[in-house]
Amino acid sequence: MVRAVEEYLKPEVVRQIARLDLRAQFIVRGFLQGLHASPYQGFSVEFSEHRKYAPGDDPKDIDWLVYAKTDKHYVKKFEAETNITGYLVIDTSASMAYTYRQEMTKLDYSISLAAALCWLMVHQQDPCGLMTFDDRLHARLPARSKRSQIAQVLSALAKVAPSGRTDIAKSIAQMAAMLRHRSLVMIFSDLLADPEPIRDALLRLRHRGHDVILFHVLDEAEVKFPFEGMVDLTEPESHDRLVVDADAARRDYVASVAAFRDDYRRACFRAGIDYVPLDTGMQFDKALMEYLVSRRNRF
């Protein structure tokens, strides 16, 4: 029996697959199957190696095999048009280890997404690199498009363990200083730090000419606050403790998280940054579609 497309994209299904390379392929396979069956079907053709024929294009560049399949005129993209250098930038601080009901932590969720995006990029012959950070940058793999790069990135991701405090703004500044060419920077973080310096660092990164997708990854419980009664909460990086009445605090807490996300959404919109709010209970296709849209919009 063929597994339903949405099953490929559910975190509770993906977490059962131990090998990261299989996780990545599993997610991408479901995403591409869903794309093919959706209103975005033609989109998948543009995503790979083609764009729609436009006045001024040489008719000799029309791909007639694609026309036979889609009844639409597409031209083959030149390599200069299609290549996009991408960097996966992952927050590995202690707060990313949090999970409530899900077995998949925020870091696990981010790593699974990053692995799938790496697989997508390299199979499109786009160079893909990796950086990780807590209070400073750590692992760094230069962007390459060879198939062997997938194994290099996944091997580095498999070794990542959450620890330490976070300094997101400082890490983004360090990363921006390292990037010599215009790139697509895909940042995965729970953003649990002072927002103002983070927004400033993101704005400077954008002003340097880089395209940015900010994947804001929270645990499902951090968004919905499913606790009841008196709850003892511990901050994972400072270890500060707070006892709260969950039932009394829920409404204000949920409103505060929504406002937190809305502030980032507005700031990113003004800066031309793609903001993607996610939680660990959500299917992976939303994030993959954001990458796809961002990639297409560059050309």
* pLDDT tens digits, 98-141: 998 767 899 999 999 999 999 888 887 889 999 999 999 987 89
pLDDT at residue 194, rounded to an integer: 94
Long-range contacts of 33-40 (CB under 8 A, 24+ apart): 33/5, 33/8, 34/5, 34/6, 34/8, 34/9, 34/285, 35/292, 37/5, 40/289
pLDDT at residue 45, rounded to an integer: 45
The C-alpha atoms of residue 55 and residue 120 are separated, in whole angstroms, by 30
Report the run of H or E that residue 177 belongs to, with start and end: helix 168-178
Q: Kindly tell me the burial class for residue 183, based on how many C-beta atoms sit within 10 Å of its own C-beta (0-12, 13-18, 19 or more).
A: buried
Specify which residues 109 forms β-bridges with. none
How many CA atoms does the CB half-sphere of 298 hold within 13 Å?
A: 23
pLDDT at residue 70, rounded to an integer: 65
pLDDT tens digits for range 141-175? 999 999 899 999 999 998 998 988 899 999 999 99
* Tokens encoding 99: 């999970």
The C-alpha atoms of residue 280 and residue 11 are separated, in whole angstroms, by 7
- For residue 110, the one-letter residue type is S
CATH number of 84-297: 3.40.50.410
**pLDDT tier at 205, thresholds 50, 70, 90:** very high
Q: Enumerate the domain spans of the chain.
A: 5-80, 84-297
* Tokens encoding 189: 């973080």
pLDDT tens digits for range 64-103? 666 666 677 777 665 445 578 999 999 999 999 999 876 7
Report the run of H or E that residue 128 belongs to, with start and end: strand 128-133
Report the run of H or E that residue 157 belongs to, with start and end: helix 148-158
The C-alpha atoms of residue 218 and residue 250 are separated, in whole angstroms, by 17
pLDDT at residue 2, rounded to an integer: 39
pTM of the model: 0.79
The three-class DSSP label of residue 6 is: helix
Phi-psi region of 164 (alpha: psi -120 to 50; beta: other; left: phi over 0): left
Long-range contacts of 142-149 (CB under 8 A, 24+ apart): 143/85, 143/86, 143/87, 143/183, 145/83, 145/121, 146/122, 147/122, 149/118, 149/122
The C-alpha atoms of residue 292 and residue 117 are separated, in whole angstroms, by 10
pLDDT tens digits for range 166-193? 999 999 999 999 998 889 999 999 999 9
Beta carbons within 8 Å of 147's beta carbon, 6+ residues apart: 122
pLDDT at residue 77, rounded to an integer: 62
278: closest CA among 223, 241, 230? 223
How many CA atoms does the CB half-sphere of 286 hold within 13 Å?
A: 17
74: closest CA among 180, 82, 195? 82
